[in-house]
Structure 1
Amino acid sequence: MKLIIRGLSRLTTEEKILALLTPYGLVQYFHLVMDPNTQNSKGFGFAFMPNPAQAKAAIKSLNGIEVDGEKIRVKKAEDKPTDPNAAETK
Structure 2
Amino acid sequence: MKILVRNLARTSKEKELYVLFAAFGSVTECTLVLDKETGESKGFGFIEMPKTDEALAAIKKLNQSEFGKSKIRVKSSE
Q: Which TM-score band (shorter chain)?
A: over 0.9
CA displacement 1:28-85 (0-9 Å, x = unmatched): 010000011111100000010000000000000100111111100010003xxxxxxx
Q: Give how far 1:27 is off.
A: 0.2
Unpaired segments ≥5 residues, structure 2: none
Aligned residue runs from structure 1 range 51-62, under 5 A: 51-62=51-62
Alignment match, 2:8:
8
Q: Give how far 1:15 is off.
A: 0.9
Q: Tell me the TM-score normalized by structure 2.
A: 0.96
* RMSD, aligned CA: 0.7
Alignment match, 2:65:
65
Give the aligned length.
Answer: 78
Structure label with greater radius of gyration: 1
2:6 corresponds to 1:43: no
Quick one: percent identity of the two aligned structures? 45
Unpaired segments ≥5 residues, structure 1: 79-90
Q: Looking at both structures, which has the greater relative contact order when contacts are Cα pairs under 8 Å and sequence separation is at least 6? A: 2
